[in-house]
Structure formats: C-alpha cells, structure tokens
Amino acid sequence: MRAHSLNALLIIGGFEAFESSATFAEARGDHQEFCVPICVLPATISNNVPGTDLSLGSDTSLNAIVETCDRIKQSASGTKRRVFIIETMGGFCGYLANMGALAAGADAAYIFEEPFDIRDLQSNVEHLTRKMKTSIQRGLVLRNESCSENYTTDFIYQLYSEEGKGVFDCRKNVLGHMQQGGAPSPFDRNFGTKISARAMQWISTKLKEARGTGKRFVTDESICVLGISKRNLVFRPVVELKKETDFEHRIPREQWWLKLRPLMKILAKYKASLEVSDLGQPEPVSGHSEPAAI
C-alpha cells in the first residue's frame, strides 16, 4: 500500500476478506498505511460474512442447488420408495442446506448451527417410513458438508439404507463444485451493481470529507462491511462486527434464516403439530416432546 500510495481499499470476498479487514483495523496503530477508508463487499456462496443478510453469489448457488434437487426428485418419480441424501457446500454455515431444503421441499436438513444426534436421525427415518405409505413415495434430505464430524454423508446414507430395508432404498449425491459455477442470477447481478456503486460513493465521500494533506482515517466507521439488511444497504464497522462473529467456525453468531427451519417440518407434514416460538424454535403443541433438529 505504501509503494502504490493507495488512498482507499475495496475488498471483495468472503470470510477471509472480513478477517483481513479486522487485521487491518488492529494494525492501524503500528502501520499508518492502513489508515485509509476500507470497505468490504461480501461475495461468497457460503453466506457466512457478518454484517449482511445475503452475500453476493449465494443466491446463484442456491438456485443451482434447488435446480439440481428438482432434477433428482424428477428422477425419483419413475422409481417408487427412494430417498436421496444430498451434500451441499457452505463450510460450517448451513444457509445453502437449510434454504435449499426449504425451497426444494426436502424432508430434513442437517446443519452445524442446530446440533442433532442419532435420535433425530431415527425420527427422520420414521417420518420417511410413514411417508412411503402415502401417494408421494420419495424422500429428499440435505446435509451441510461440515454439520457434524461423525455424522458424515456416508454414515447418514448407510443408516438410512439399513433402517429403510424393505420400505425404501437410498442414494447419495455430493453436489461439489457445480454449486460455484454458472451464470449469476438476476438478483446477484442487481445486488452486485448496487453494492459496488454504493461502496464507491461511500469511499469518494470519505476522501472528500478528509482535510489536510495526511488524510489519515482512524475511526471505527472508516473500515466497514457493506451489506444488505431487510432490503436496505447498511455499513457496519468491522470492530463492532467482531463481537458478533464466531471466528473458529467462520460464521456469524446469529443467523436470520434459522427462524425458517420449523417451516420445513410443517411443509414435510411431520406427525407432531408444531408452533413457532419467538426464537424460531419448534414447540410441540400437544405436550409430548419431539426432536427439534431436522
């Protein structure tokens, strides 16, 4: 930055971009080169950048996942009583698995943010067993790639295959890097245009407001993440966002989309009637307990 005399920095990327900006903020006291306006534009399919509801590219990846799930479900229509286990990307962030399952009409989605155990797997198998007696004789289960160290895709596949003997058979599919390719969705194209223009406007304003020849920026507001929150573009200081971040697992501590998880059980027609609490957790209406993880 010193060699090129940079007056501002625009970082486009995922959690690494956010982590780098946090490092720049900490190093400002020792390196005045970092005392310039710095803006982070979240761009990752994992949607794990703090300070934004959506990251650039996550909608395109979600569309690819849902399209693939639809094709798999169509292939199952010619074969009765078949369950598919699908693994998605996203690191420790379960956004793609959760939202993909909800959009594709899946029966369950296993994610890191909501721990599950063998009893939850048993509950899902029992649900699919009952489902095979109805007119819709197929099942779809999504799993985030890092949702559990021990309950791997192979383990879940083998468990479903063993417990479903005589009732349904099971197949697994790891979507892999096909989630990272393809043309951007219309939403991502518009979103990318809006946030890049807004970021450049912010940087230009900061530089014009600076006085003197030094132009040193040392306030927390001069190094931000530009994200979307409830349809609004907002700037959040990186120093403030560090308190809301789980750096070990590279995810925000709170996720807005977790409140949508109970809808999956409702749409999948699980046996227990559920109502949604203020925290977005399913609560049994009829007094008996039911595993919360799906």
User: How do residues 89-111 score in pLDDT, each as one tens digit?
Assistant: 999 999 999 999 999 999 999 99
Residue 271 lies in a domain: yes
User: How do residues 56-92 score in pLDDT, each as one tens digit?
Assistant: 999 999 999 999 999 998 887 778 899 999 999 999 9
Q: Output the pLDDT for position 214.
A: 55
Tokens standing for residue 38: 């710095």
Could you please report the per-residue DSSP string of 8-67? -EEEEESHHHHHHHHHHHHHTTT-GGG-S-EEEEEB-TT---TT-S--BTHHHHHHHHHH
* 171, 225: one domain: no
Q: How many CB atoms are closer than 10 A to CB 275?
A: 10
| Nearest alpha carbon to residue 100 among 67, 66, 70 | 66
Which residues are registered as beta bridge partners of 141? 85, 108
* 268, 219: one domain: no
* 51, 92: one domain: no
* 189, 247: one domain: yes
Q: Output the pLDDT for position 285.
A: 45
Residue 84 lies in a domain: yes
What is the pTM (predicted TM-score) of this model? 0.88
Q: How many helices (H) and strands (E) does the chain have?
A: 8, 12
Q: Output the pLDDT for position 288.
A: 42
Q: Output the pLDDT for position 33.
A: 86
Give the residue ranges of the chain where pLDDT is below 70. 211-215, 272-294
* 144, 244: one domain: no
Residue 101 lies in a domain: yes
Q: Output the pLDDT for position 211.
A: 64
* 234, 124: one domain: no
Domain range holding 171? 59-181+256-284
Give the count of domains, the chain.
2
Q: Output the pLDDT for position 272.
A: 62
Residue 294 lies in a domain: no
* 21, 166: one domain: no
Q: Output the pLDDT for position 289.
A: 44
